[in-house]
Each structure stands twice: as structure tokens, then as C-alpha cells.
Amino acid sequence: MGLVQAGNMDEEAQDESRDMSTTWFIAKEYLKRLEVNFEEHGRKTFSLYPYGPTETKEIEVFPGTHWITLTTRLYDLRSVPKKEKTSVYQQLLKTNASLVEITFGVDKKNFIIVRNAIPVTGISYDVFNTTYEAHLSGIKLFHSKLKASLGLKD
């Protein structure tokens, strides 16, 4: 029985790998159609170089098994005092409650990020493009309004 389970697990791993490969290919084709500059990082991520200000000047695209995720680092919080960070976190939560399609958060490296996720099931170029445009709007929103309201300096 152990061999049957191991065989099933190998099949599941192969299915997941095939799904990841398909998702990666879909993401790559849609990025080409958007006519944006991008760089591949193996078969895991892409870096886009959009117009407009972002902290790292890139959008990371992660094609996963079930989701394609767009993520941009917007602001380095490492130099912000702990007391002020609490206020920033609360403001980000309030902002997220009033938005659709984009989410602001803080990543492991202590950067404010904006993130969108596109479900792979039912994905189309229009959905991908709309989500990409929403992501760019989130970047603009952060730099034009949110950054100042959070009391963050350039």
C-alpha cells in the first residue's frame, strides 16, 4: 500500500509541475502581449520594468499552480520607528478594506508592497491586462496619496 501512495504522490507532483509550467507559459505570453520589458528568472518569476516610480523599479510576477501573483516593493520600512510602524500597519489595513483588486501589505524584508493575484482557472488576456492595470494604479495611489497620509518621507 505504501508503494501505491508513493506512486500517487509522484503523479500529483508531476501534475503540479505541469500546471506550473503551463501557468508560467501563459504569464510569459500575456507579458509579451502587454509589450512591457521583462526579465525571466528561471521558471519561477519574471521582473517587469514598468513606467512610473516603484521602490525597486520592478514588478515581480510569480506564476503558481493556481494563481499568478504580481508584487511590487514600494517603501522600505526598516528605518521607520516601531511606534510609527504600528500606525502604518493600521492605515494599510483600513486602505485594504476600501479597495478591490489590489492589496497593500508588508513583506518579510519589511517593505510595503502592493500585490494582486489572478486565478489561473478561467484566466484570459483581458483579466491579466485588467489586473496589471489595477496593479499600476495601486503603485500610483501609493505614491500620490497613501505615502503622504502614512507620514512616510521620500
Q: Say if residues 116 and 138 touch (Cβ distance below 8 Å).
A: yes
**CB under 8 Å to 114, separation ≥6 — which residues?**
71, 72, 74, 102, 103, 104, 135, 138, 139, 142
| Cα 62 from Cα 78, distance rounded (Å) | 25
Name the nearest CA neighbour of 116 among 140, 138, 94. Answer: 138
pTM over 0.85: no
| Cα 32 from Cα 26, distance rounded (Å) | 10
Please list the residues that pair with 116 across neighbouring strands.
Answer: 70
pLDDT in tens, 12-30: 555 555 555 777 788 888 8
pLDDT in tens, 112-145: 999 999 998 888 999 999 998 899 899 999 999 9
Q: How many CA atoms lie within 13 A of 30 on its CB side?
A: 24
Q: Which three cell numbers stand for residue 69?
A: 501573483
Instruction: Read off φ and ψ for residue 103, nearest 5 degrees.
Output: -135, 130
User: Which structural domains are found in the chain, ordered by start?
Assistant: 2-149 (3.30.1460.10)
**CB under 8 Å to 99, separation ≥6 — which residues?**
138
Q: Say if residues 123 and 33 touch (Cβ distance below 8 Å).
A: no
pLDDT at 91 over 80: yes
Mean pLDDT, all residues of the chain: 81
pLDDT in tens, 41-83: 776 677 776 655 555 567 888 888 888 899 999 999 999 999 9
